[in-house]
Amino acid sequence: MKNRSLILVTNDDGIHSPGLYVAAQAAAKIGDVLIAAPHTQQTGMGRSFPRCPDDGIIEEIDAQERMRGGFWYEEMHDREIRAYAVHGSPARAVAHGVLELADRKPDLCVSGINYGENLGTCLTCSGTLGALFEASSYGIPGIAVSVEADISRQHSEDFGKRDWSAAQSILERYIRQVLEKGMSGKSNSDEITIVTADAWNINVPDGLQFPYPERRTVLSRQNYFYFVKPEKRNRSQPYRLKSEQIVNIESLERDSDIYAVYVDRVASVTLLNFDMTARSRKRY
C-alpha cells in the first residue's frame, strides 16, 4: 500500500540469516517491507562494491516460508513482504533495492539483526553499517541492530538458535519512533541537546532481560575487535587474518557504546552522522 511507510530491510549476514527475518517481522508491524539482502555471508564488507562475475544477479525469495520456522513468527495476514537475494555486498544490495526493486523511495532502511556487535571504531568495517552508509547517500535514514555473538559465529552461516526478544522489541520501538518523529533524539551528555542523526546504531548484549534497559551512548575511540599478528607462514599462500576481542577498561570512555554493552550489560543506542567533518567536541 503506497500510503504506508516503505521499510527496506537488509543485512550483511546474508539472505539465510534468521536475524534478517526477525527484523523484517518487526518492520512489517509498522509498514510495508522490502527485503534486499546479500546472497551470501558478507560480514566485514563495509560500504564496498567488490567486482565479482555474478554482481547484480537478483533472486526472488519466499520470505513468509523462511519466517514460518522461527518461534518468533507471527502470521501477518494483511502484510506482503517481498524479498530478494542480491549477489554482492550489503551496500550493493541496498543500491539495487533503492534503484531497481522498490516501487517508491524507502522511508527507512533497517540493517540487521546482525550476529555480532558493531561497536567503537570497528563500525567502519561493518557491512551492517555499510548498508546504512549507502542508504544515507540516497537520503534514506537508517537503523542498525546487532546482537552480541561469539566471534566464531560472525563470519559463518551456521547461525544456531538464539532468543531475539530483546533486539526485536527495541528495534520495533525505534522504527516507530523514527517514522513518527524523525531522526532527532537526545544526546547522552549532561547538557541534554537535541541532535539530528543519519542513523541509529543499536547493540544488544546477550541475555538482556525485560524491560530491556538501554543507554544513549557515543561511539568509542577504541576498536572492539583487533586483528591478530600472523605467525610465521608461507606468504605466497592465501591467508585470512584472525581477530579477537580486546577491551582496555582503563582507557574506555564511560559514556561509550562499548562500556554500555561490555561493562554494564545494557543495550547501547548511538546516534550517527555520516558527515565526517572534524569538529571540536567534549568527551567524558
CATH of the domain at 124: 3.40.1210.10
Domain count, the chain: 1
Which amino acid is residue 165, in one-letter code?
Answer: S
Over residues 9-14, mean pLDDT: 96
- pLDDT for 186 equals 62
pLDDT grade for 151, boundaries at 50, 70 and 90: confident
Q: How far apart are CA 81 and CA 229, in angstroms?
A: 44
Compute how many other C-beta atoms are within 10 angstroms of the C-beta atom of residue 275.
8
pLDDT grade for 75, boundaries at 50, 70 and 90: low
Q: Poorest-confidence range of 61-70, 142-151, 193-202?
A: 61-70
Q: Residue 105: inside a domain, yes or no?
A: yes
Q: Which are the contacts of 185, defined by CB distance < 8 A and separation ≥ 6? A: 194, 195, 197, 200, 216, 271
- Which pTM value belongs to this model? 0.90
Over residues 143-165, mean pLDDT: 82
pLDDT tens digit string along 78-102? 677 899 999 999 999 999 999 999 9
Mean pLDDT (the chain, rounded): 89
Q: Residue 282: inside a domain, yes or no?
A: no
pLDDT grade for 191, boundaries at 50, 70 and 90: very low
Which amino acid is residue 174, in one-letter code?
Answer: Y
Considering only residues 159 and 172, tell me which one the structure prediction assigns the higher pLDDT. Answer: 172
Q: Residue 235: inside a domain, yes or no?
A: no
Over residues 26-40, mean pLDDT: 96
Q: Residue 243: inside a domain, yes or no?
A: no
pLDDT tens digit string along 192-204? 555 678 999 999 9
Q: Residue 93: inside a domain, yes or no?
A: yes
Q: Which domain holds residue 80?
A: 6-219+254-272
pLDDT grade for 188, boundaries at 50, 70 and 90: low
Q: Which are the contacts of 266, defined by CB distance < 8 A and separation ≥ 6? A: 205, 208, 213, 214, 215, 260
Q: Residue 238: inside a domain, yes or no?
A: no
Q: How far apart are CA 19 and CA 64, in angstroms?
A: 14
Cα 210 from chain centroid (whole Å): 21
Place of cell 553499517: 129
Bridge-based pairing state of the strands 214-217 and 199-204: unpaired
Q: Residue 139: inside a domain, yes or no?
A: yes
Residue 93 has which C-alpha cell?
A: 544490495
Q: Is 130 helix (H, G, I), strand (E, B) or coil?
A: helix
Over residues 187-196, mean pLDDT: 56
Q: Residue 248: inside a domain, yes or no?
A: no
Over residues 269-275, mean pLDDT: 93
- pLDDT for 67 equals 73
Q: Which percentage of the chain shows pLDDT scores above 70?
A: 87
The answer on pLDDT for 177 being more than 80 is yes
Q: How far apart are CA 260 and CA 222, in angstroms?
A: 13
